[in-house]
Amino acid sequence: MTNRHERLRMQRRIRLVLEERRAAFATRDAEPAVDPEATMEIPPPQRAVGRVTVEY
């Protein structure tokens, strides 16, 4: 059983951690690393060497 002082201290620590995480995510999301509107080149699938081909 925790006393009132320990409970308040834990709540304060949790609040500080949440604030730090919110700040970190806010700065991370401020600059998109990838342009969502840009098109991406998808290479054609490569055939595996030495594998059995499956016929449907």
pLDDT digits (tens, 9 = 90+) for 34-54: 666 777 787 887 776 676 767
Mean pLDDT for 21-26 is: 83
What is the overall mean pLDDT for the chain?
A: 79
When pLDDT is cut at 50, 70 and 90, the band that residue 31 belongs to is low
Query: Residue 2: what pLDDT?
Result: 73
CA dist 17 and 11 (Å) reads 10
User: Per-domain residue ranges for the chain?
Assistant: 1-32
**What is each CA distance from 49 to 8, 22, 23, 44, 46, in whole angstroms?**
63, 48, 49, 15, 9
